[in-house]
Amino acid sequence: MLISAADPLLDIAGLSTGYGKVGVLRGIDLMVGVGEVVALLGPNGAGKTTLLRAVSGLLPWSGRVRFAGRDLAGASPRDTVKAGLAHVIEGHRVFTQLAVLDNLLLAAYDLPRGERAVRVEEALGLFPEIAVKRHERAAALSGGQQQMLAVAQGLVRRPRLLMLDEPSAGLSPVLVDRVLVVVQRLREAGTAVLLVEQLIEKALTLADRVYALARGSIVLEARTGEADLPDRLEHAYLATTSRHT
C-alpha cells in the first residue's frame, strides 16, 4: 500500500523525462503534503536532480504534475516560481560578482520595493553568517556561505514548497547542520520541503517521509519512523527495480 501525504501540495503521477533521446526517469509517482518535509534519496545517477529540474520547468516531461491544485504541464521556471515553488539548484548558483544583498534583491525582482526589502531581511535573518557580509561580493564568500546565499535566494520568494538539491554538498559538518536547522525552521513555519541529500541519517532525522530512486524509478516509499527503514534503504540502494512499500 502506498503511503501518501494527507493533503497533497505537490502531486506527481507517471512522470517520465530525460535529456533529448536519453530517458532518465520512468513512471515516477511522488507526493509532498502541505508543510511536509520529504527526503528524496538514491545513489549518484539515479535521477534525483533530473526530477527536480522537471518539476521546476527546466526539463520537458510526460505524465502529470500538479502543484497546489494547478496543472504544471507546459509551465516555465518563472511560472513555477510565481506559483510558490522554489528550486535551489545544486552547486551554489549565485551571482559571484554581485553583493550578497544584490543577489537577494535580484531573486525578488518582480516584487514591490518595500516588499522586497522585508523579504530580504527575513531571509538574511535565517543566515547571520551572510547577513554580516551583505555588502560584500558573493565571490568573497566561502563555499558554505554561498550555499546559504543560494538557499536564501529561494526563501525570498516565501515559497509554499522549497526543493533543495544537495544543500550539504561541499560543506563542513558545522555548516551542514546550520543549513539543515533552517529546513527544520521552515517546516515549523509551514513551508514544505523536498530534500535531495546524500547524508542519509541527517535527511531522515528531518523528514516525515522518504522516497528512494534507483535506475530512474521509485524503489521505496516509507515513513521515516519505520523501524526497518535502514535495512529497506540498503536494499533500495542496490538498485532493485521492483517497488517496496
Domain that holds residue 96: 90-158
Residues 45 and 124 in one domain: no
Residues 4 and 76 in one domain: yes
Residues 73 and 119 in one domain: no
- Give the CATH number for residue 41: 3.40.50.300
Residues 153 and 165 in one domain: no
pLDDT 10s digits, 93-123 = 789 999 999 999 999 888 888 899 999 999 9
Residues 180 and 237 in one domain: yes
Residues 167 and 245 in one domain: yes
| pTM of the predicted structure, to 2 decimals | 0.88
pLDDT 10s digits, 148-157 = 899 999 999 8
The pLDDT of residue 4: 57
Under-70 pLDDT residues of the chain: 1-6, 91-92, 238-245
Residues 168 and 114 in one domain: no
Instruction: Decide if 171 contacts 183 (C-beta within 8 A).
Output: no
Residues 77 and 171 in one domain: yes
The pLDDT of residue 182: 86
Cell numbers standing for residue 118 = 522585508
The pLDDT of residue 111: 87
Count of structural domains within the chain: 2
